[in-house]
Structure 1
């Protein structure tokens, strides 16, 4: 019997042209990506139950934050 998926995932993956070190620039990039995801949630009439943010440097070192 097929498994019914109850939760869907909406996200955004973006490759940036360089690493960012200035806090104001980092905050701007994160805000813009968050606004894109929020617009998609609104378009699909969905609410988020959990938010995850993962950043990866050119060296492929990962940083992950999650929250509900």
Structure 2
């Protein structure tokens, strides 16, 4: 990744972190609706794992993804 792309990404890193946190919170809330006595730490860990797997699938499906 060139310097320009790194600087641009850095400018948005806080928003990216906040967006991912909101995604985790969204799916945790959905899980809590379905299972009120949910083990929250375990649910968060499972959600984060699912997000990582989804990111891997998105990366693999992207024809323009270049190695970093």
Scaled to the shorter chain, the TM-score interval is: 0.3 to 0.5
Bigger Rg, structure 1 or 2: 2
Structure with the larger strand share: 1
TM-score (norm 1): 0.44
